[in-house]
Amino acid sequence: MIMEKRPILVQVAMEVECRKLLDKVVHVKEVMDSGYLFYEFEIDGYPVVLSLSKVGLIEAASSLSIAIRKYRPKVIINYGIAGATTNKLHVSDMVIGTSCMNINSYRTSFLEKGMGSCPEKWEFLTFLSGEEDRFVSYSSSLELVDLAIDNPPLTKYLCGRIGSGDVWNREIDRILFLNREYGVLCEDMECVSTYQIAEDRNIPVISFKMISDNILLGEEYNREVGIYLQEYIYLYVSKLIEKMCEDN
């Protein structure tokens, strides 16, 4: 599909995380491409594409690559649920992502046989082709973050770093380490792929995460809280469209 205007791309992993949003729009067109589902519609007369990426870094990267080729998006908005890594966030609170890091990309320290494992000594690194391996944190677009702060959600929220990887951490010391040493507020399983690809292609990106569980506070996993985030995403996209029209 070739659109007259470059669309806003909204990326989410699970159907439960987009059901409410799709109910708010009309004339939704479903498109299947290479095993991934895309929903095409308009908000306030502006084209929007919702990509249902499925769960995990590989799925997020694969579906986003297809979406970029197919739609040439102007902006990428990733959203969904995530587990908290701080006791300052409760279930149904929100994180406005200002940056994102890969919590699954690391080099372990050398230990002799029989010395076990020491996760707190693992060094977070991004392994780069033709460059020196180093720690990388990918940043959200400042304009997109400012727009979110100017139009805050009704729920409690914090702005900060999202940790992302194909892992569900349930070790309290590991969770506290990520928050203490790297400022991670929550963990998801998709958005670092989104950030890396967006940065490589110079596409503005932001991520919003609603807390679905907090093991530090004994708050159990509830993926249905994502319904409330979808209301905010609809309003945020409307405000973004309004701003883009004003700028033009």
Q: Identify whether 149 is part of a domain.
A: yes
Phi-psi region of 72 (alpha: psi -120 to 50; beta: other; left: phi over 0): left
pLDDT, position 1: 38
Does 41 reside within a domain?
yes
Q: What does the alpha-carbon distance between residue 161 and residue 137 come to, in Å, rounded to a whole number?
A: 9
Backbone angles phi, psi at 66, to 5 degrees: -65, -45
Is residue 79, in this structure, part of any structural domain at all? yes
**Over the chain (248 residues), what is each successive 10-residue block's mean pLDDT?**
76 89 93 95 96 94 96 97 97 97 92 89 87 92 97 94 94 94 96 96 97 96 88 96 88
- pTM > 0.75: yes or no: yes
DSSP 224: G
Specify if 110 maps to a domain.
no
**E strands present in 53-166:** 75-84, 94-102, 106-107, 123-124, 137-139, 157-164
Within 8 A by CB and 6+ apart from 223, the residues are 14, 16, 17, 81, 212
The CATH number that applies at residue 37 is 3.40.50.1580
Task: State how far the alpha carbon of 4 is from the alpha carbons of 11, 47, 72, 186, in Å.
Answer: 21, 9, 11, 37
Q: What is the rounded CA–CA span in Å between residue 26 and residue 188?
A: 30
**Residue 2 confidence (pLDDT):** 42
Residue 117: inside a domain: no
Q: What angle do CA 34, 38, 42 make, to 5 degrees?
A: 150
Which amino acid would we find at residue 51? S
Please give the tally of structural domains in the chain: 1
What gap in Å lies between CA 113 and CA 108, rounded to an integer?
A: 14
Alpha carbon distance 73, 212 (integer Å): 29
In a domain, 130, yes or no: no
215 within some domain: yes
- Does residue 153 fall inside a structural domain? yes
pLDDT at 224: 86
**Number of H-type helices and E-type strands within the chain:** 6, 12
Q: Tell me how far CA of residue 97 lies from CA of 43, 153, 171, 201, in angstroms.
A: 23, 13, 23, 19
Structural domain span for residue 194: 8-102+139-167+184-247
